[in-house]
Amino acid sequence: MDVLRFLGQHVPRTERIHGSFTGEVISDLKTRPEGLRIKHRVKSNSVKLYDKQGSVLRVETTINDPSAFKVYRPKEGGREDQKSWRRMRQGVADMYRRAKESHDCNTRYLTALAKIEDNRELGETLADVTHSVNWQKGKVRALQPFGKDADLLDVLGDGSFVLNGLRNGDLQARLFQKPAKSPQEKRSRAGKVTRLLRMLRAHGLIRKIPKTHRYQLTDKGRALVTALGAAKHADTKKLTALAA
């Protein structure tokens, strides 16, 4: 799933590959005289990471099949004011878009590999957010990371929001399994998510992207969701041994 996201493919919220996808996803590792190379391929497009003599780490995206990507343009011979999202073309006309998509693929891959070093104990990390705080002339409740806020923090850790951030509507789609049945319910959900976003901002876990309605994780927020994710997937036996 991650490789599909790296190379710009849409992966549904259900984490299932779209029914129209018929290609292969392949990853392989090779050792060469210059160094190691790991390569991930979706059909004929790929993103790879390699080192040169152990001194330079480089990520590279290769687009051999541009039709897997979209570009906002008019149809061939059409009017300039009648644009829509169409398949990227093989020639030089969409070269600017191909360069942007390659850059975005590289960024998604490197961001997924990045991590925040935090040597604090989990209890110390949670201590910052499990108490109420004063923010913007009001009091904001404490988080409940292993209680009613667990699903919210899981969503924040989703790498698909790393580049463009998340919006109120994105959280609604992930936190509520079924569409709202009425306009009143839709407004109620939007209001609830607004309060959740305010709480996350008050605790310093997210920041608002200027001049947008999108939010991104702060370093503090990323450290928290990373620690929680590691704790939830850790082996109980090993954790007990470490604590002894």
Place of tokens 């989703």: 158
Task: Kindly tell me if the per-residue pLDDT of 140 is higher than 90.
Answer: yes
Q: With cut-offs at 50, 70 and 90, classify the pLDDT of residue 44.
A: confident
Output phi, psi for 159, to 5 deg: -65, -15
Give the pairing type, strands 70-74 and 83-87: antiparallel
Higher pLDDT, 127 or 17: 127
E-assigned strand segments in 15-62: 25-32, 35-42, 45-52, 56-62
Q: Is the pLDDT of residue 199 over 80?
A: yes
Q: Taking 60 as the threshold, does the pLDDT of residue 19 lie above it?
A: no
Average of per-residue pLDDT across 222-231: 82
pLDDT value, residue 99: 92
CA distance linking residue 202 with residue 5, whole number of Å = 31
Is 55's pLDDT higher than 80? no
**Which residues touch 53 (CB under 8 Å, ≥6 apart)?**
34, 35
70-84 residue pLDDT tens: 889 988 888 888 889
Residue 121, burial from CB neighbour count under 10 angstroms (0-12, 13-18, 19+): exposed
Question: Quick one: average pLDDT of 207-226?
Answer: 86
Res 16 pLDDT > 60: no
In this prediction, residue 57 carries a pLDDT of 80
Q: What is residue 53's predicted lDDT score, i.e. its pLDDT?
A: 64
Question: What's the pLDDT score for residue 242?
Answer: 55
Identify whether the C-beta of residue 201 lies closer than 8 Å to the C-beta of residue 132. Answer: no
Which tens digit of pLDDT belongs to each residue from 95-114? 998 899 899 888 878 877 76
Among candidate residues 31, 55, 50, 38, the one with its CA nearest the CA of residue 3? 38
Q: By the 8 A CB rule, do 39 and 3 touch? A: no
Domains plus CATH for the chain?
A: 2-113 (no CATH), 122-236 (1.10.10)
Q: In the prediction, which pLDDT does 116 show?
A: 55
Handedness of CA 44, 46, 52, 53 (dihedral sign): negative
d(CA 162, CA 89): 28
pLDDT reading at 217 higher than 70? yes
Q: Look over the chain and give the mean of its residue pLDDT values, rounded to a whole number.
A: 82
d(CA 189, CA 20): 32
